[in-house]
Amino acid sequence: MDQTIICRCEEVSLEDIQQTTSHYNCSAREVKLRTRAGMGYCGGRTCRPAVDAVLEAVTGERAGHDIPLKVQPPIRPVSLSVLGGESR
């Protein structure tokens, strides 16, 4: 199987997607929910096109957006010094 990482945030590989699809015989949306592909810290901004393309190839269906997975930016920007704990 292929260990290529499709979703870096959740560390979902191509093999994970293929195994989930074959084991559960599920839709593209169900594969996303079971593997959490596209649901990590980036909210799918980085990997969503790749996840959708892989799911279309593996499941044979286009990823439906009737109940879309939410892509949400941070509420407000935070500086790296704040995240690192440095005070001004």
The reported pLDDT for the residue numbered 65 is 57
pTM of the model as a whole: 0.63
Tell me what pLDDT residue 5 has. Answer: 92
Number of domains in the chain: 1
Q: Which residues of the chain have pLDDT under 50?
A: none
| pLDDT given at position 15 | 92
- Tell me the residue range of the domain where 67 lies: 5-84
60-67 long-range contacts, Cβ below 8 Å, gap at least 24? 61/27, 61/28, 62/28, 63/28, 63/29, 63/32, 64/27, 64/28, 64/29, 67/29
